Amino acid sequence: MPALETTDKIAPRSVVRHRPIGGDPGREGNTVIAPVAQRAHRPHPAQADTDQTIEVSEWQRTGDARGTGGSPLKQRANTGKKPLPSTTTPKARGIAGKSLRHAHPLLYLGLGMLAMLGLWTAFMGISSWAGTTINNIRYGYPRTYQVDAYVGHNETPGSPSHFIAINLHGRIEVIEMPGGNASDARIFTGPQLFGPNNDLIPVTLSFADVLGNHKLDMIINVQGTQIVYINANGTFRQPLPGEQNQIKQFLQHYHP
Per-residue pLDDT of the chain (256 residues; tens, 9 = 90+): 555 555 555 555 555 555 555 555 545 555 555 555 555 555 555 554 544 444 545 545 544 444 444 444 444 545 555 666 555 555 555 555 555 567 778 888 888 899 999 999 998 888 888 888 998 999 999 999 999 999 999 999 999 999 999 999 999 999 999 999 999 999 999 999 998 889 999 999 999 999 999 999 999 999 889 999 999 999 999 999 999 999 999 999 888 7
Indicate the residue type of 2: P
Domain membership of residue 208 (yes or no) is yes
176 and 222 belong to one structural domain: yes
248 and 213 belong to one structural domain: yes
Domain membership of residue 36 (yes or no) is no
226 and 173 belong to one structural domain: yes
Q: What is the pLDDT of residue 80?
A: 54
Indicate the residue type of 116: M
pTM reported for the whole predicted model:
0.55
120 and 181 belong to one structural domain: no
Q: What is the pLDDT of residue 109?
A: 87
Q: How many domains does the chain have?
A: 2
Give the residue among 217, 250, 248 at the shortest CA–CA distance from 232. 217
Could you list the residue range(s) of the whole structural domain that residue 113 is in?
A: 107-139
- List 173's β-bridge partners, or say none: 166, 189
Domain membership of residue 149 (yes or no) is yes
Domain membership of residue 194 (yes or no) is yes
Q: Are strands 161-168 and 171-177 parallel, antiparallel or unpaired?
A: antiparallel
Q: What is the pLDDT of residue 127?
A: 85
Q: What is the pLDDT of residue 65?
A: 47
Domain membership of residue 198 (yes or no) is yes
Domain membership of residue 78 (yes or no) is no
SS (H, E, C) the chain: CCCCCCCCCCCCCCCCCCCCCCCCCCCCCCCCCCCCCCCCCCCCCCHHHHHHHHHHHHHHHHHHHHCCCCHHHHHHHCCCCCCCCCCCHHHHHHHHHHHHHCCCHHHHHHHHHHHHHHHHHHHHHHHHHHHHHHHHHHHCCCEEEEEEECCCCCCECCECEEEEEEEECCEEEEEEEHHHCHHHCEEEEEEECCCCCHHHCCEEEEEECCCCCCCCEEEEEECCEEEEEEEECCEEECCCHHHHHHHHHHHHCCCC
177 and 152 belong to one structural domain: yes
